[in-house]
Amino acid sequence: MQDASDRDGAETLTAGDGESQIAYKLRLAQIAAYRAFEERVTGYGKAPRYLGLLMIIGANPGSNQSSLAEAVGLRRSSLVAILDQLERDRIVRRDPAPDDRRSKAVRLTGHGSRVLKELTEEAEAHEAALTRGIPEADLAILRAALDRIILNMRALDMPAANAAADRTDSLSRS
């Protein structure tokens, strides 16, 4: 991206060589999309920030916190704080898991289901604005490329996760 002017006529700063980096572009796109979505929806507390998580909970009611953390790429401790907030907002509830009393099964409340439905409708309109002018064939390629990037990043996390599991197993056998 060349130096350009923004709407106010001020110079737009660039990242120089960083402009060609996919991770940099992904982060800029994520920030812009997130900001625009949060400005679009109001009156939902922090729920819009966690729409992806709410979609996963809605599609997988009763999932445990560890599975949810893995699905959204968060540490379990970070997810617990988010679930605490969503529980205070009456969007989710945590019940003892039927197969493991140490684990919690996470579900949407009735209110949470309504919030998810409304936010999903807003997200679909936001997605249409976000992708305006991009042919569907290009969007399919973009989705596939993003899926590949996600798989690549999860694969990078695997050795650390496997090593931690191995350490835990060896400690429990000691």
pLDDT by residue (tens digit) across 125-161?
999 999 999 999 999 999 999 999 999 988 887 655 5
Query: What DSSP string runs through the chain?
Result: ---EE-TTSPEEP--GGGGG-HHHHHHHHHHHHHHHHHHH--SSTTGGGGHHHHHHHHHSTTEEHHHHHHHHT--HHHHHHHHHHHHHTTSEEEEEETTEEEEEEEEE-HHHHHHHHHHHHHHHHHHHHHTTT--HHHHHHHHHHHHHHHHHHHHHHHHHHHHHHHHHHHHHH-
> Above 60 in pLDDT, residue 164?
no
| Confidence at residue 99, expressed as pLDDT on a 0 to 100 scale | 83
| Confidence at residue 8, expressed as pLDDT on a 0 to 100 scale | 62
pTM of the prediction? 0.78
